[in-house]
Chains A and B, each alone.
Chain A
Amino acid sequence: MDTLFSPIAGGILIGLASMGLLATLGRVAGISGIAWGALAGPDRDWRLLFLVGLVSGTALVHTVLDKPIPSAPNAPLLLAVIAGLMVGFGTRMGSGCTSGHGVCGIGRLSVRSLVATLTFMTAGLVTVFVVRHMLGGVS
């Protein structure tokens, strides 16, 4: 029961947050776009506030609910650089990520977002398969 509660409740919170942003400021909670816009503009203020909230919300859950903090990734730092570059490049080129396309886009029945979501999900599955089952893992 507990194992199902956390993911479903967490998902509902993510959905409610996205709808709250849409209802109040009329914006899509796409985090890749928010992250880039917070630095490059325009309208940096609300985006920066959202990101500050994002980090604070995570800290809050671990503090208030006594949820253990995930252990530090132990894969090589170079992999973080390569993966980070690809995530940034790909989300900007494809105009969105798991939140913007996956949660908000599919939520408003955008076929474009559904196609994007299926594309990055498939690419993620294939990549993990190749790394873990063909190359024998990285860490």
Chain B
Amino acid sequence: MRQWPALLTGLIFGAGLALSGMTNHEKVLGFLDLFGAWDPDLAFVMGGALVVTLGATPWISGWARPLLADAFRLPANQTIDRKLLLGGAIFGMGWGLWGYCPGPAIAALAYGYESTVVFCIAMITGMWLAGKTDLIVSRFER
């Protein structure tokens, strides 16, 4: 069972989301509502997280290998293409419509609200559709 750190880190991640209020979609929408009653908290959440990741990532990725796996699996893709921008734009629009990005949406399943279950099922369906669309597009581009 060498995968147990995934459970522990997931637990800490979920605790962070709930503690910071990011599992409350109204709060997230409040951050995105720059011209309304703006709620800056999400910026502090991102800031707190980034202080840790900016500080620790260079150190950890300098190790020969992770503690419990054979190698680091980091994304190698560095291209900024249409897919990245269009995907980001579509994601951002959906985020702004409801106030959930994938992490908080899944974490908020803990509250047992019907709309959150519906959101998560739709989200997975959207991911599946993106894979199908990608297949069709790449067939045309070939």
Q: Do A and B interact? A: yes
Within 8 Å by CB of B74, from A11, A28, A71, lies A28
Interface size class of A (residues with CB under 8 A): 35 or more
CB–CB A127/B97 < 8 A: yes
CB–CB A124/B129 < 8 A: no
Docked complex Cα distance between A15 and B101 (Å):
17
Total number of A-B contacts with CB less than 8 angstroms?
479
- Which residues 79-134 in B have Cβ within 8 Å of A in the complex? 79-80, 83-103, 105-111, 113-116, 118-131, 133-134
Q: Is the interface of B mostly helix, strand, loop or mixed?
A: helix
CB–CB A83/B10 < 8 A: no
Docked complex Cα distance between A42 and B108 (Å):
25
CB–CB A132/B122 < 8 A: no
- Which residues 25-58 in B have Cβ within 8 Å of A in the complex? 25-27, 29, 32-36, 41-42, 44-54, 56-58
CB–CB B52/A51 < 8 A: no
CB–CB B78/A111 < 8 A: yes
CB–CB B102/A97 < 8 A: yes
Q: How many residues on B have C-beta within 8 angstroms of the other chain's C-beta atoms?
A: 113
Docked complex Cα distance between A104 and B80 (Å):
17
Within 8 Å by CB of A26, from B11, B22, B69, B116, lies B69
Contacts of B63 in A (CB 8 A): 23
Residues of B bordering A, CB below 8 Å: 3-27, 29, 32-36, 41-42, 44-54, 56-58, 60-61, 63, 65-75, 77-80, 83-103, 105-111, 113-116, 118-131, 133-134
9 additional contacts (CB under 8 A) given A13-B20, A120-B95: A19-B52, A27-B69, A46-B3, A55-B106, A55-B110, A65-B19, A106-B53, A115-B85, A127-B92
